[in-house]
Amino acid sequence: MKKAPGPFSRRLSLRSYLMLGILLPVALFIVVDTVVLYRQALAAVNTAYDRSLLASAKVIGEHITARGDADAARLEASVPYAALEVFEADNRSRMIYRISNTAGELIDGFEDLRVWQGQLPAQGPYAALVDFYDDTYRGDDVRVAVLLQPIAMQQARAMAVVQVAETLELRHTLARQILFDTLWRQLALVSVIALVVFVVVQRATRPVRRLSTLMQERRADDLTPLQMVDAPVELLPLMEATNTTMRRLHHLLDNQKRFVRDTSHQLRTPLAVLKVQVQSALRGDVDATQGLTEISHTVERATQLANQMLALAKVAQLAQEQATESVDWAGILREVALDLSPLIADKSLDFEIDTVPAPIQTHAWMLRELSRNLLHNAIRYSPGQGRLRVRLLCDANHAALVISDSGPGISEELRKRLFQPFSAGQVHSGSGLGLAICLEITQALGGQIELVNRSHHGQIDGLDTTVRLPLAAPPAALTTKPHT
């Protein structure tokens, strides 16, 4: 079961949907990109300042000497603080150093700077024995560079540990400046993108708004096709579907108008005749039995006309509905033949019916009405003791119903108007709606109907009525079961 859309999704316009759909991913990307750029810039700044710390440690290492014999030598250092001033960027940062031996004994520098207790990295970025770490000095955060400086004199060898620390005020100030500069540029970029997207979306949705205005300004009875010369390609399927719907509505309205007009016209005549017959019977102008007989014939004809008018209207209604199941035409055809068997027996017709399974995607009522009208017409126009043959054949894609009667056939003049409503083959015989109903059903099912005179030695000896309809699926078995 599909979930009903929420109130927010119902109120969301096409422009808002496009704006959100474009700007939200862009904004998310810019946020991620800002964080990445800031971290990369901060890493580059830290790398540059770490190089300065390493340079300071190397300068200090140049002022360290050793005295003594071999490995028992003692380290000595004389480092003027002025030697470190060149590495101080400004007064916002301070540099502190400490020189000790590998045992941690102070040689020179600031005693309260904690002794390095770490380990050298396995694969550091520098060729020297260097390590960097973060620490605190007198309550301030510092960055410390450690250099293990080998000292080799003529007879003395020793290892000095040089620690140089720098306070982080300047680094924090530079990091904030980088962050603000990045945010400002990204905010300007988002503003430009939002402005461009807004302008583009406004221009792109302008045809949709024009189409909406055009539809709202139309009269209720205006079903003419939509005309938008400058409509974009994406709107053409919508316009074509709308025009198709309007054509269907126009066709339905025309059918309703024609139905009402034809009904009022055709029912007026039998009702007027019925009124005259009743008045004549009441005055005693005709015998009562004769009068009732005439009234019965008129009522029967009016009833048949009304039923066929309703059938024609029902065909138009079912043609708009999509059938979901297939119906076996063969079974319906045999049921109709059984219903009309009294008429066949009354004329002593030589009747034969051959059918094969023929599944048709349609409503059962439409197939039954089609078969009944065609078979009833064939029985009516067949002479007594004539031959009537019904065959239902199938090929790969279509089913064909062929009804062959032994009647007089049809003339070319009658053929041109035979499928028109109220055009009967014989005067005062039928209402002229049977074949019109058959044509409507056949066209609604995507088929064809054809009436062809059958000749023998140059003489017409009957009429072949053929209806071809598309199959819903190939029949399971094409076996012929004759039934006489």
In sequence order, what are the beta bridge partners of 162? 99, 147
Task: State how beta strands 350-355 and 387-394 pair.
Answer: parallel
**pLDDT for residue 443 is more than 70:** yes
Compute the distance between CA of residue 39 and CA of residue 36 in angstroms, rounded to an integer.
5
Largest Cα–Cα distance of the chain, in whole Å?
A: 162
Query: Which three-class secondary structure state does DSSP give residue 228?
Result: coil
Report, as an integer, the average pLDDT of 304-317: 68
Nearest partner of 209 among 186, 232, 189, judged by Cα: 232
Interval 211-223 mean pLDDT: 80
The string of pLDDT tens digits covering residues 163-190 is 999 888 888 888 888 888 888 888 888 8
For the entire predicted model, the pTM comes to: 0.46
How is residue 156 annotated by DSSP?
B
Mean pLDDT of 415-441: 63
Specify the 3-state DSSP secondary structure of 143: strand
Pick from 8-12, 222-226, 271-275: least confident: 8-12
Residue 95 has φ and ψ, to the nearest 5°, of -115, 135
Letter string b/e over residues 379-408, b meaning 16 or more CB atoms within 10 A of that residue's CB: bbbbeeebebbbbbbbeeeebbbbbbbbbb
Name the more confident of 123 and 388.
388
- Residue 10: its pLDDT value, please? 54
User: Which is it for the CA torsion 320, 323, 329, 332, positive or negative?
Assistant: negative
CB 381 within 8 A of CB 408: yes
482 in Cβ contact with 356 (< 8 Å): no
110-162: pLDDT as tens digits: 888 888 887 877 665 665 688 889 899 888 888 999 988 888 777 777 888 99
Q: What is the pLDDT of residue 40?
A: 85
Assess whether pLDDT exceeds 80 at residue 483: no
- State residue 35's pLDDT score: 85
Instruction: Express each pLDDT in 33-86 by its tens digit.
Output: 888 888 888 888 888 888 888 888 888 888 888 887 766 678 888 777 666 665
In this predicted structure, what is the pLDDT of residue 8? 45
Q: What is the pLDDT, as a whole number, of residue 427?
A: 40
Radius of gyration of the chain (CA): 51
Residues with Cβ within 8 Å of 483's Cβ and at least 6 positions away in sequence, in order, are: 334, 352, 353, 354, 355
Sequence-ordered list of residues with C-beta below 8 angstroms from that of 417, at least 6 positions apart, any chain = 423
Instruction: Please give the backbone phi and psi of residue 64, each rounded to the nearest 5 degrees, phi first.
Output: -105, 135
Q: pLDDT for 2-44, tens place per residue?
A: 455 554 445 667 777 778 888 888 888 888 888 888 888 888 8
Strand spans (E) along 405-477: 448-456, 459-470
| Residue-averaged pLDDT of the chain | 79
Q: Give residue 208's pLDDT.
A: 80
Taking only the tens place, the pLDDT of each residue in 189-201 is 888 888 888 888 8
pLDDT reported for residue 424: 52
Per-residue model confidence (pLDDT) at position 356: 92
Q: What is the pLDDT of residues 236-246, one digit of tens each?
A: 788 888 888 88
